[in-house]
Amino acid sequence: MGLTCLHNKMTVDALKKAGFTDGSAQFAGSANAAVDEKQGNSSEQANLHAMCGLGQGEQDCLRKVQKIITDGKQDAADAIASQDFKLALRRMGETLHTIQDMAFHKFEPWPFAGIGEAILNAPNYMFCHLIRDLGAVSVHGALDVDVSWRIGSQVYLGVRGFYHPSNNYFAPIPPLGGQPPEIPGFGGLLTITIGAPPGSVRVRDPYPDSRGSVEGPYSSMMSSGRADLTRAEDETDDFIQKIQKDVEAKPANGPLPAGPELWKLFLQFRPA
């Protein structure tokens, strides 16, 4: 769950930004992406993606997901202390998968045995899930698509395309219950959004559509992708910073390097 390539990229980018070598960043990114090979509906597997397993209660689900993150962080800290940097990077990558998925999946139930079964049983849900997992895309009306990139911590550059087949835009009086007066044809807009991520703020349709197809149960799910991605990116940075702070705060206890010196060694590591 979650697009594997997005998980990989987010992790590689964050580690490189934190000063890790390219090899280390790639290694953690692959460990992260490998978590998506476990897509079953058991609690053990669903919880890895911050979703709840078949028949799992919500409280149990929240507790188990939290435990995956706490354990992963501890494993990484222990591995850094004993200078098993490869293990530390693997555990960091795996734990970041759950952290990133938490931003997207928000503990939804996952009763499906795999992606194939999910698409067969709940095609609408899976379509929305997929669009949201794309992270950069939010879909507004049936034919409006937004793609946006984060170019600053709170600034997004977007491209918005639309295709409206309705041709009664210039009709002097819109027919009762007819097509909404949208600009006919197709076109694109370049957008710069400052503050809230595009798609995270719901704007009420000023021309309520009698077709009723625009506001469905999954509408907010479909437009929350960009906001979710921003949250996942921030949480990823946050996790790495927390581990760094913990390592740097720990004084030496014996001949092994510790504190900032140990963190520096970790940053310089190159997995063979």
47-76: contacts with Zn ion (CB under 5 A): 49
Per CB under 5 A, which region of 94-102, 122-130, 240-248, 260-268 contacts Zn ion? 94-102
CA–CA gap between residue 106 and residue 227 (Å, rounded):
13
Q: Which of 129, 151, 128 is nearest to 233 (CA)?
A: 151
Q: Report H helices in the chain.
A: 4-17, 22-34, 43-48, 58-81, 85-105, 115-121, 123-133, 219-223, 225-249, 259-268
Interaction between residue 1 and Zn ion (CB under 5 A): yes
In the complex with Zn ion, the residue whose CB is nearer, 78 or 234, is 234
Q: Which is nearer to Zn ion, 119 or 267 (CB)?
A: 119
Q: Using CB under 5 A, pick the residue from 20, 27, 61, 101 that binds Zn ion.
A: 101
Binding status of residue 182 toward Zn ion by CB under 5 A:
no
Decide if residue 2 touches Zn ion (CB under 5 A).
yes
**Subset of 12-51 contacting Zn ion (CB under 5 A):** 36, 49
Count of positions on this chain that bind Zn ion (CB under 5 A): 5
H or E element: which one contains 147?
strand 144-152
d(CA 214, CA 270): 50
Q: Which is nearer to Zn ion, 40 or 178 (CB)?
A: 40
Tell me whether residue 2 or residue 53 sits nearer to Zn ion (CB atom). Answer: 2
Q: Which is nearer to Zn ion, 51 or 88 (CB)?
A: 51
Question: C-beta of 1: minimal distance to Zn ion in Å?
Answer: 4
- Whole-Å CA distances, 6 to 81, 137, 201, 218: 30, 13, 23, 22
> Which are the contacts of 46, defined by CB distance < 8 A and separation ≥ 6?
40, 52, 53, 54, 56, 61, 110
Nearest distance from C-beta of residue 156 to Zn ion, angstroms: 24
Residues found near Zn ion in the complex (CB under 5 A): 1-2, 36, 49, 101
